[in-house]
């Protein structure tokens, strides 16, 4: 048996020591080299003899190069690892502090995949037995713990969206996600009156600046101006009618001579007038489909705004045109787009100093009043759009003495552009400003209260939690009582219900009072609907029914027909959701048939709730389906006859229409800030 001399301890013989292998093994002066093929042999995939140069490279007369092997990665020292861990720990602490500053609990447990699936639209038709149990009353927006909802980040389709109001929090809770509007929710069903122009060119200039938009025929210009004065101007008051009449007359007689700023405003008037018409009235009066005219004049207005350099302007007429344009397309564009364009308008207004009152700037009565009207209209639209985007509808306002005051109670014919007097003499009677002044007073009440709350060191995401507290409820109740007394003594007592604008002011004023009371007494204050005291529950129910009736009256009363375009904007979503939740838990409650008739009327008067795939509409339709299924099951269980007319039985079909959309297939993960209550 032979034994290896290296392992047996026997010294190697001289012959062995002279061999190339042994010389490398026994050498201590040279480092050990890796045996690898040269670059040329590796590329040709042939055997290399590892000489320098190798025989293959000599044969082919190429340079022989050896690629050095990578040195094995050295393990980090213990000191290095400790330093890295310490740095990461400090970074985590800083991130936790940032989250806490935004009222996000970094220690809140993440939702499991199972809990996320429990909110999936695929499961929005639960078993009848589950629907009829009172304890299963997971209302839209109901969250674990029954506390008030707070700010949250919602993740869907690779994007995060910040949500900071209870309405949209409730919507996402019902849907189980927040779809990316630009890819899913803004896709509408085929409808003649639901179009979605792409507004990017309005900002980035892809629309043509050189070509001048074509004005309509003179007779149509006059007709559109009359429609604007009757339908839109009383609810906006952003233009001075006597001055605007001169520009309209010029557009009828010689449109080529109109300055670019006035031309933008004229086209905005055209488009807003068309927007205020119903599809039937539009075709009857103007001879064309409403959707076609809206698309045509929205594009023309955008082109006119670009020609007037709306982003760099300091001209009030251009800003007026931009505001009217956003008003006319807010139901056509996706809410986040309108919100972004509102930001552009706000910056233009601030650059022009509209956030400072004209009396502090030495301006005339006319300039001061028009700037006030434009500023308050802009902030009102901004607030309405913010709520639809899931943001706080009560934005911070300036409480400084030089802040822009409310517009005065003055008719347009009392304002003269040539009058340079700084004195403001308000009328003590009802004027053209009746409706907008009531609305702006309400907006001022909300924003002032919200701003004072923030100045006390609170954050905006704590606002609804504060309203749910006893202190917040008491202060809000006191404010609404004062506001109601003021309206009754200063406005309602002088209104004639036979006058359309005065009737609308009374209706919307009372609706605003009911809305504030709903916020003060909303069941979010309680752990669940069942734990709400009976008298409180009855009060909330009556308030919600009144709100829905008032909104329905705006769309069905013949006197208010010309103002019905405002109804979708002031839709009482919170009241509708609460009523549907109650019907879901108590399907055969007293007067349920009448309430279902009211709900059917709301759907009939608002076709966008059926055709638009926006998450808000889908979530409400989902809840409507649950409530109606619960009613059908309860009627069968109690062997009762459904006395509702066949038209109301279409409500579940409308809901199914929404639930069969691609929104159903969206898979998302929601990142919540703080778990909390009901809508």
Tell me what the mean pLDDT of segment 101-117 comes to: 49
pLDDT at 92: 75
Q: Which two tokens stand for residue 261?
A: 């700023």
Q: What is the DSSP letter of 159?
A: E
The pLDDT of residue 352 is above 70: yes
CA distances from 6 to 12, 24, 229, 627 (A): 7, 14, 109, 89
Q: Give percent of the chain with pLDDT exceeding 70.
A: 66
- List the Cα angle 442/446/452 in 5-degree steps: 140
pLDDT recorded at residue 423: 67
DSSP calls for 338-358? HHHHHHHHHHHHHHTTTTB-G
**How high is the pLDDT of residue 25?**
40
Is the pLDDT higher at 381 or at 531? 381
Q: Which residue has the higher pLDDT, 539 or 455?
A: 539
- Percentage, residues of the chain above pLDDT 90: 30
User: Residue 156 forms beta bridges with which residues?
Assistant: 159
Find, among 352, 345, 452, 360, the residue nearest to 405 by Cα: 360
Give mean pLDDT, residues 343-356: 92
| DSSP code per residue over 512-533 | HHHHHHHHHH-GGGSSSSTTS-
pLDDT for residue 400: 66
Q: What's the pLDDT at 386?
A: 79
Prior bond of 53 cis (ω within 30°) = yes
Give how far the C-alpha of residue 565 lies from the chain's centroid of Cα atoms, to the nearest Å.
Answer: 20
Identify the pLDDT of residue 310.
92
The mean of the pLDDT values for the chain is 75
pLDDT of residue 186: 38
**Is the pLDDT higher at 119 or at 64?**
64
Cα gap 504→235, rounded to integer Å: 10
Least confident interval from 235-249, 371-385, 580-594, 636-650: 636-650
| CA contacts within 13 A on the Cβ side of 560 | 21
Q: How many Å apart are CA 547 and CA 507, to the nearest integer?
A: 10
Task: Tell me the three state secondary structure of residue 60.
Answer: helix
Q: Which of 61-75, 427-441, 616-630 has the lowest mean pLDDT?
A: 61-75
Q: How much is the average pLDDT of 312-326?
A: 95
Report pLDDT for 127. Answer: 32
pLDDT score of 315 more than 60: yes
pLDDT in tens, 500-553: 999 999 999 999 899 888 887 776 666 666 677 888 888 899 999 999 999 999
Whether pTM exceeds 0.85: no
DSSP state of 403: B
pLDDT tens column, 560-595? 999 999 988 888 998 999 999 889 988 888 888 889
Between 185 and 613, where is the model more confident?
A: 613
Q: Which domains does the chain have, with CATH numbers?
A: 24-68 (4.10.240.10), 148-196+484-679 (no CATH), 197-416 (no CATH)
Asked if residue 628 has pLDDT above 90, the reply is: no
What's 398's DSSP letter? -
What would the pLDDT profile of 121-145 be if each residue is shown by its tens digit? 333 333 333 333 333 333 333 332 3
Q: Is 160 helix (H, G, I), strand (E, B) or coil?
A: strand
Q: What is the DSSP code string of 88-155?
A: HHHHHHHHHHHHHHTT--TTSPPPPHHHHHTT-GGG-S--HHHHT-GGG---TT--TTS-----EEEE
Helices 434-455, 500-521: crossing angle, 10 deg rounding? 20
Question: Poorest-confidence range of 266-275, 421-430, 547-556?
Answer: 421-430
Torsion sign, CA atoms 407, 410, 411, 412: negative
User: Which range has the worst mean pLDDT, 74-88, 235-249, 441-455, 630-644?
Assistant: 74-88
Give 293's strand partners: none
Which of 38-52, 388-402, 552-566 has the least mean pLDDT? 388-402
- Distance, in Å, from the CA atom of 484 to the CA atom of 399, rounded to the nearest integer, reads 23
For residue 627, count CB atoms less than 10 angstroms from its CB and return exposed for 0-12, middle for 13-18, buried for 19 or more: buried
Phi (first) and psi of residue 570, to 5 degrees: -105, 20
């Amino acid at each position: 048996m032979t034994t290896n001399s290296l392992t047996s301890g026997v010294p190697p013989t001289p012959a062995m020591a002279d061999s190339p292998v042994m010389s490398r093994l026994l050498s201590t002066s040279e480092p050990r080299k890796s045996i690898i093929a040269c670059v040329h042999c590796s590329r040709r995939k042939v055997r290399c003899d590892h000489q320098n140069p190798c025989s293959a490279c000599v044969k082919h007369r190429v340079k022989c190069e050896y690629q050095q092997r990578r040195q094995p990665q050295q393990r980090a020292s213990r000191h290095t690892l400790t330093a890295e861990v310490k740095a990461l720990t400090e970074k985590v602490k800083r991130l936790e502090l940032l989250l806490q500053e935004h009222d996000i609990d970094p220690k809140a447990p993440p939702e499991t995949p199972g809990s996320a699936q429990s909110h999936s639209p695929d499961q929005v038709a639960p078993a009848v037995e589950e629907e009829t149990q009172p304890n299963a009353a997971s209302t839209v927006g109901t969250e674990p713990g029954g506390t008030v909802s707070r700010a949250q980040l919602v993740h869907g389709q690779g994007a995060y969206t910040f949500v900071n109001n209870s309405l949209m929090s409730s919507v996402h809770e019902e849907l189980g996600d927040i779809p990316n509007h630009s890819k899913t929710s803004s896709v509408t069903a085929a409808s003649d009156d639901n179009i979605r122009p792409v507004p990017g060119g309005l900002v980035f200039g892809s629309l043509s600046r050189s070509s001048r938009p074509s004005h309509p025929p003179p007779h149509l210009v006059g007709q559109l101006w009359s429609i604007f004065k009757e339908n839109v101007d009383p609810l906006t008051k952003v233009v001075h009618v006597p001055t605007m009449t001169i520009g309209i007359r010029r557009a009828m007689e010689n449109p080529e001579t109109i300055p670019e700023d006035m031309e933008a405003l004229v086209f905005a008037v055209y488009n807003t007038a068309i927007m205020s018409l119903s599809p039937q009235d539009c075709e009857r009066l103007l001879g064309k489909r409403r959707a076609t005219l809206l698309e045509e004049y929205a594009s023309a207005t955008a082109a006119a705004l670009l020609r007037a350099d709306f982003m760099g302007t300091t001209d009030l007429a251009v800003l007026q045109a931009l505001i009217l344009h956003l008003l006319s397309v807010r139901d056509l564009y996706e809410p986040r787009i309108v919100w972004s364009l509102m930001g552009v308008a706000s910056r233009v207004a601030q650059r022009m100093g509209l956030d400072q009152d004209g009396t502090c700037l030495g301006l005339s009565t006319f300039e001061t009043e028009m700037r006030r009207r434009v500023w308050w209209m802009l902030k009102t639209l901004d607030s309405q759009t913010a709520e639809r985007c899931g943001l706080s509808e009560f934005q911070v306002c300036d409480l400084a003495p030089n802040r822009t005051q409310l517009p005065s109670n003055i008719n347009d014919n009392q304002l003269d552009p040539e009058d340079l007097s700084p004195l403001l003499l308000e009328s003590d009677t009802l004027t053209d400003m009746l409706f907008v002044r009531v609305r702006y007073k309400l907006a001022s009440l909300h924003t002032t209260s919200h701003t004072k709350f923030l100045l006390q060191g609170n954050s905006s995401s704590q606002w609804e939690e504060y309203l749910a507290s006893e202190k917040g409820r008491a202060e809000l109740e006191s404010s609404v009582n004062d506001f109601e007394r003021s309206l009754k003594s200063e406005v309602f007592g002088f209104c004639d219900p036979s006058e359309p604008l005065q009737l609308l002011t009374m209706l919307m004023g009372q609706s605003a009072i009911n809305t504030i009371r709903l916020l003060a007494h909303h069941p979010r204050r309680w752990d669940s609907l069942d734990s709400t005291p009976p008298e409180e529950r009855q009060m909330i129910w009556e308030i919600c029914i009144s709100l829905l009736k008032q909104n329905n009256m705006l769309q069905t009363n013949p006197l208010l027909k010309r103002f019905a375009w405002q109804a979708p904007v002031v839709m009482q979503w919170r009241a509708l959701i609460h009523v549907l939740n109650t019907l879901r838990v108590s399907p055969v409650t007293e007067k349920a048939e009448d309430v279902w008739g009211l709900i059917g009327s709301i759907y009939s008067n608002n076709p966008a709730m059926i055709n638009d795939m926006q998450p808000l509409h889908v979530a409400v339709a989902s809840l409507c389906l649950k409530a109606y299924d619960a009613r059908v099951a309860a009627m069968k269980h109690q062997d009762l006859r459904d006395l509702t007319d066949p038209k109301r039985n279409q409500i579940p079909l409308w809901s199914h229409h929404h639930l069969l959309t691609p929104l159903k297939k969206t898979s998302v993960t929601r990142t919540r800030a703080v778990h909390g209550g009901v809508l």
